[in-house]
Chains A and B, each alone.
Chain A
Amino acid sequence: MSTTPTSRLADVVNRHQDELLSEWVQAQQLMTSRRMGLITNADLERESRELLGLLQRALADGDGTSVDGPQWDPVRDFLSGLSRSRAEAGFSPSDTAMFVFSLKQPLLSRLSQEFGDDARSLIDIIWETTSLIDRLGLVTTEEYQKGREAVIARQQRELIELSTPVVKLWDGVVAVPLIGTLDSERTQIVMESLLERIVETNSTMAIIDITGVPTVDTLVAQHLLKTVAAARLMGADCVISGIRPQIAQTIVHLGLTLSEVTTKATMADAITHALDQSGLRIAPVTKE
């Protein structure tokens, strides 16, 4: 039998699986006694059993000195999923990490029983075991972080989408009033959102109103032109309206050609244009 710390650890885990599991579950229950409502005993035991099993397999195939290799993928994937589900259930990052850390005590007591007589071996194996558990605990915390970041990113995006709503004026025509400065990221999101709405509403015309945009530089103009080109590729036409005199000057000054784009000074003009294209018009209601 090989005598590396990893193989010794693997051996101990194999032989004492059931006792380790029950001691570990007990330790967790003591810790989370305040939050028992967040997870059932049955789930706790199931998750612990699963991790222990994955740990066994990883130790059998691989190396206990690092958790980066492919043999540790199943363990990391499991911790990743667990971290996110615990986060959603309302556990704090520490609670979630403690799931892993609380395995130390049962493991270390088993190890000292096995190797108590051999100080040298005991120190080596305790060191490796502690490092391993620490690393796994860190993985759990990192995954928790990633989960939070994903939520924040999604919320930021939703905020931007909400602040630039694409409205359907009538059958086949949508309009998006752009307000505020257009930076690269915001423009991308608005562009995507406009194009999605065009598909959703089967609209053949989109009015992009820039009355609320203070400055138009080359970059903003490029983004607008790209949006118009993309909409056309999909089968819809765009009208850019709300071009203030200063902006018209800037556009000419920058040498930008908007020759392929329909532009209107005001939103009202754009709507009239859209009505024309749709074969509609607004007329007073005749009184009988």
Chain B
Amino acid sequence: MTDVRAEELHIGESDDVVRVRQIVRDAAVELGFSIVDQTKVVTAASELARNTYTYGGGGRFRAELLNSGSRHGLRLIFEDDGPGIPDIEKALSDGYTTGTGLGMGLGGARRLVSEFNIESKPGAGTRIVATRWR
């Protein structure tokens, strides 16, 4: 019996990155994550939210609290209709920077979560699903 509750936020301005952090922190606390895991998942969310705002031109964020018997997890979904990422592999490797030099969020965020999925094509926007299990 999987229990899923969700919270959504539209990312439209830079302050929304902090709001995303707060939503994710509250969710992680509710799910009983350890302090270290809370820090990791909130930091990952911060990186991804900032990317959505800075490179995606804004977008949608959704946090899902997953409760299925013995497994508890937090799923973060970031979507934008921005320019897309031309070379995903390169973007995921560290030290990758574009534009104002604020890159590197993707590879780092991936290491902070348990599951990481990214779909992005130039001209078709980007969709990232990152899940951290407790």
Interface positions of A (Cβ within 8 A of B): 68, 70, 142, 145-146, 149-150, 188, 192
Q: Which residues of A contact B1 (CB under 8 A)?
A: 68, 142
Residues of B within 8 A of A192 (CB): 36
Residues of A within 8 A of B36 (CB): 188, 192
B70 in contact (CB, < 8 A): yes
- Chain B residues at the A interface, C-beta cutoff of 8 Å: 1, 3, 5, 32, 36, 69-70
What 3 A-B pairs are tightest by C-beta distance, nearest first? A192-B36, A149-B70, A142-B69
Looking at the assembled complex, report how far the CB atom of A156 sits from the nearest CB atom of chain B, in whole angstroms.
Answer: 13
Would you list 13 pairs from A and B whose C-beta atoms are within 8 A, ordered by A residue? Answer: A68-B1, A68-B3, A70-B5, A142-B1, A142-B69, A145-B69, A145-B70, A146-B69, A146-B70, A149-B70, A150-B32, A188-B36, A192-B36
A192 CA / B70 CA spacing, docked (Å): 24
**Chain A: which residue is nearest B134 at the CB level?**
A153
What residues of chain A lie closer than 8 Å to B70, measured between beta carbons? 145-146, 149
Q: Which residues of chain A are within 8 angstroms of B69 by Cβ–Cβ distance? A: 142, 145-146
A187 and B43 CA atoms in complex are apart in Å by 21
Measured between beta carbons, the chain B residues less than 8 angstroms from A146 are 69-70
Give the residues in chain A near B3, CB-CB below 8 Å: 68
Query: Closest Cβ of chain B: how far from A148's Cβ, in Å?
Result: 11
Taken together as a complex, chains A and B put the C-alpha atoms of A27 and B111 apart, in Å, by: 54
Complex: A146 Cα to B69 Cα, angstroms: 7
CA distance A177 to B131 in the complex (A): 34
How distant is the Cα of A125 from the Cα of B74 in the complex, in angstroms? Answer: 38
Q: Which residue in chain B gives the minimum CB-CB distance to A138?
A: B1
